[in-house]
Structure 1
Amino acid sequence: MAWLLLLAAALVDIAMAIALKYADGWTRLWPSILGLACANGAIALLTLALRQLPVGTAFAIFTGIGAAGAAALGILLYGESAAPLRLLLIAAIIAAIAGLKLTQP
């Protein structure tokens, strides 16, 4: 259950990043509110996951999924660079996440 909470926290973190992109530097009310709500939700879910998971592993996975997911959506939604090196580095983040998961019970 803790791993599902951690995954949910990371997905909500990705939603936060996208909402804040639409918030346009806090100049748009509803995306700003959604971004703040997602930030609070992500931290709440992470906190619940940390009851059972090691903090270093859980936080690394949380931030890794968030970073890779936000980067992928940036490419898909905003036409951000999909240069081969960038894609390779995103893949490295995902590989590191999988490695961390495999080392935990």
Structure 2
Amino acid sequence: MAWLYVIVGGLFETAFAVSLKESHGFSRLWPSISFAVTVVVSMLLLGLGLRELPVGTAYAVWTGIGAAGTAIVGMLFFDDPATFLRIAAIGVIVSGVILLNLAGGGH
């Protein structure tokens, strides 16, 4: 269950990053509220996962999901460039998280 918390928390990290962009520096109400809610949910889920998982591994997975997810959302919905190097970088992030887990990061 701890991994589920961390994974879903990482998805909420993507949501709070997108909400932050859409808030335009907290000048738009609903995206600002969305940011506040999603950042709290994301942190709570990470905290629940940390009850059972090593901090380094759980945090790396959480941030990896957030970073890769935000980059993908940016390419799909915000006209961020979808170059080979950007896509390869996402692959490196995902590979790093997988390798960290294979190295004995979970219980």
Matched, 1:21 2:40: no
In the TM superposition, 1:1-105 aligns within 5 A as 1-103=1-103, 104-105=106-107
Percent identity for Structure 1 against Structure 2: 43
Q: How far apart are 1:101 and its partner, in Å?
A: 2.3
Per mean C-alpha deviation after superposition, the further-off stretch among 21-30 and 67-76 is 21-30
In the superposition, the TM-score normalised over structure 2's length comes to 0.93
Q: Which amino acid aligns with 2:84?
A: P
Between the aligned partners of 1:72 and 1:101, the Cα distance in structure 2 is 22
Distance 2:66 2:7 in 1: 9
**Hey, which bits of structure 1, 4+ residues long, moved more than 6 A?**
none
- Structure 1 portions without partners, runs of 5+: none
Any unmatched runs of 5+ in structure 2?
Answer: none
User: SS state of the match for residue 52, structure 1?
Assistant: coil
Counterpart residue identity of residue 23, structure 2: A
- After TM superposition, the score normalised by the length of structure 1 is 0.95
Q: Following the alignment from structure 1 to structure 2, what is the Cα–Cα distance between the partners of residues 102 and 36?
A: 34
Please report the RMSD computed on the Cα atoms of aligned residues, expressed in angstroms: 0.9
Greater relative CO, 1 or 2 (CA 8 Å, sep 6+): 2
Q: Which amino acid aligns with 1:83?
A: T
